[in-house]
Amino acid sequence: VQIYVDDIIFGATNEKICQEFSKLMEDEFEMRMMGELKFFLRLQIVQSDEGIKIHQMKYTKELLKNYKMKDAKPMKTPMH
């Protein structure tokens, strides 16, 4: 279980445990399930059969757009 301000993230390898915890939290507190986690604190989470991947592609693209660097050439090391 991960708690951040007013967000709670939980997961388990056992689906039954997830459902029981979800029911317990909904009964005890005023909360609702938002479904599968996709974004959290500017992190993108992609879940698949191969595993869970966490990256910041969307945030990086927003930064490049905001600073007008979308067409900048990538470099292996960001210095001369």
Tens digits of residue pLDDT in 46-69: 988 898 899 999 999 999 999 999
pLDDT of amino acid 54: 93
The residue ranges of every structural domain in the chain are 1-35, 36-73
CA dist 66 → 7, 19, 61, 63 (Å): 27, 41, 9, 5
Interatomic CA distance for residues 41 and 52, integer angstroms? 16
Tens digits of pLDDT across the chain (80 residues):
777 767 788 877 888 988 898 889 888 888 887 888 888 888 999 988 898 899 999 999 999 999 999 898 888 886 76
CB 49 within 8 A of CB 56: no
pLDDT of amino acid 55: 93
One DSSP character per residue, 16-72 reads HHHHHHHHHHHHHSS-----S--EETTEEEEEETTEEEEE-HHHHHHHHHHTT-TTP
pLDDT of amino acid 75: 81
